[in-house]
């Protein structure tokens, strides 16, 4: 096997070669070099966690979740994107590696909530991934919503912004495979820990002063 190739066990079913082809358990989840970004796609390019800078510089990828929804690597982070042809709008949610790690650890609870919602049970759950990036599962909507929130002036609580993606359950099923695959594509994720596990978060003050864990009130500490 030549340089630049990666083969992982059949459960993950990955092969990356010179043509950057990838499959994740299903043959129509594919990976290839993304096309050059348009100006619209470049919006929101700045990652939120400076500690993740210069952690990796390897293969690019673009993983299709169907329905014009995909996951790709951008800069030092990961982006979930969805294009809406009717309105010609590209929506996205961006992750630093630390926020993606938090997502990875939270996935079992998110999946449990989705399964409960599918059964018609009363589900309304949210998870904070850091820096006001929030995952929502609500039985009223057949989606997993990953969205950036913002605390507007005069508001007591952060409000959802337009920056985010609502994945339908079929897309979320594929997204779960992508989350399992990601440490193989980005080995640095293996040594990345969620913010609250850092040494400077071993006391309450560390949490309160952190812009990731306490983004709406950290300046007051």
Residue 51 lies in a domain: yes
> What is the number of structural domains in the chain?
1
Q: What Cα–Cα distance (Å) separates residue 124 from each residue in 107, 136, 142, 143? A: 16, 7, 12, 12
Residue 143 lies in a domain: no
Q: What Cα–Cα distance (Å) separates residue 15 from each residue in 1, 34, 118, 173? A: 11, 17, 33, 21
Supply the pLDDT for residue 17.
Answer: 34
Residue 142 lies in a domain: no
- Domain of 174 in residue numbering reads as 6-104+169-220
CA–CA gap between residue 196 and residue 147 (Å, rounded):
20
* Each residue's pLDDT tens digit, 139-171: 999 999 999 998 776 677 888 999 999 999 999
* Each residue's pLDDT tens digit, 76-126: 899 999 999 888 899 999 999 999 999 999 999 999 999 999 999 999 999
Q: What Cα–Cα distance (Å) separates residue 23 from each residue in 60, 133, 179, 199? A: 15, 28, 13, 37
Residue 43 lies in a domain: yes
Compute the Cα dihedral for 105, 102, 152, 94 and give only its sign.
negative
Supply the pLDDT for residue 33.
Answer: 36
Q: Is the pTM of this model over 0.75?
A: no
Q: What Cα–Cα distance (Å) separates residue 180 from each residue in 27, 93, 206? A: 16, 18, 30
Residue 149 lies in a domain: no
């Amino acid at each position: 096997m030549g340089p630049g190739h990666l083969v992982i066990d059949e459960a993950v079913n990955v092969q990356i070669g010179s043509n950057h082809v990838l499959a994740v358990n299903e043959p129509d989840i594919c990976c290839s070099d993304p096309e050059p970004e348009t100006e619209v796609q470049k919006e929101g390019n700045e990652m939120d966690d400076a500690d993740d800078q210069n952690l990796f510089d390897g293969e690019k990828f673009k993983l299709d979740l169907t329905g014009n929804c995909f996951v790709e690597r951008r800069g030092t982070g990961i982006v979930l994107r969805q294009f809406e042809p009717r309105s010609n709008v590209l929506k996205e949610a961006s992750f630093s590696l630390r926020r993606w790690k938090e997502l990875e650890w939270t996935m079992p609870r998110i999946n449990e909530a989705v399964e409960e919602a599918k059964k018609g049970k009363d589900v309304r759950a949210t998870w904070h991934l850091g820096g006001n990036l929030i995952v929502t599962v609500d039985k009223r909507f057949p989606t997993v919503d990953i969205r950036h929130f913002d605390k507007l002036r005069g508001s007591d609580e952060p409000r959802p912004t337009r920056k985010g993606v609502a994945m339908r359950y079929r897309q979320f099923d594929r997204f779960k495979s992508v989350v399992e695959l990601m440490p193989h594509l980005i080995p640095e994720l293996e040594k990345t820990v969620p913010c609250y596990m850092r040494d400077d978060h071993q006391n309450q003050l560390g949490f309160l002063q952190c812009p990731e864990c306490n983004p709406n009130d950290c300046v007051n500490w």
